[in-house]
């Protein structure tokens, strides 16, 4: 009877996990914060502003495979989905113009997923707002809150 040996790679042949260097614009590198970090900071500021305006913030950064919702809050009996858009320079396009039809569809799909996973909110009316911040690198950025920015198509 023959015996078969299976080849097991020795320790020297195994791949080692290496830590990538920090991105050039990460705080660890001493450069400016990454755009995602700046975006998150503006989402935090927006959430605080919405709370001061009387809205109850329920969720921030809801993520699913269908998309992401920046802020989910209640305004009385209305469930408000807020998309936060921040731009350093508005020479090409303003922040609000970046919420195109494709982005709107992703927001609506993520909202449907949210309502399936949180059925306690399915009875509320829906509103989709866009919170636009232009010229974020200046001392006084231009801020616009567009209520009912788009129709969710019965999400």
CATH of the domain at 72: 3.40.1350.10
Query: CA 8, CA 111: separation in Å to the nearest integer?
Result: 48
Q: Which domain holds residue 133?
A: 32-149
Residue 73 pLDDT? 97
- Give pLDDT tens digits along the chain (155 positions): 555 454 545 554 444 455 555 444 445 555 555 655 666 788 899 999 999 999 999 999 999 999 999 999 999 999 999 999 877 665 554 545 567 788 999 999 999 999 999 999 999 999 999 998 876 666 777 788 999 989 877 55
Task: Check if the beta carbon of residue 56 is closer than 8 Å to that of residue 45.
Answer: no
Domain assignment present for 8: no
Residue at 19 is within a domain: no
The verdict on residue 14 lying in a domain is no
CA–CA gap between residue 43 and residue 61 (Å, rounded): 9
In a domain, 2, yes or no: no
Would you say residue 106 lies in a domain? yes
Q: Is there a domain that residue 154 lies in?
A: no
Total number of domains in the chain: 1
Single pTM value for the model? 0.71
């Amino acid at each position: 009877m023959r015996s078969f040996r299976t080849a097991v790679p020795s320790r020297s042949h195994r791949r080692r996990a290496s830590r990538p260097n920090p991105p050039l614009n990460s705080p660890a590198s001493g450069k400016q914060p990454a755009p995602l970090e700046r975006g998150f900071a503006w989402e935090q500021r927006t959430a605080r502003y919405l709370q001061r305006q009387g809205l109850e913030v329920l969720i921030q950064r809801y993520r699913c495979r269908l998309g992401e919702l920046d802020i989910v809050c209640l305004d009385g009996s209305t469930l408000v989905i807020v998309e936060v858009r921040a731009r350093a320079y508005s020479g090409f396009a303003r922040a609000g113009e970046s919420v195109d039809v494709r982005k709107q569809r992703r927001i609506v799909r993520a909202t449907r997923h949210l309502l399936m996973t949180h059925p306690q909110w399915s009875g509320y009316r829906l509103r989709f707002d866009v919170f636009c911040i232009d010229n974020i690198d200046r001392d006084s950025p231009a801020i616009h809150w567009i209520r009912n920015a788009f129709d969710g198509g019965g999400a």
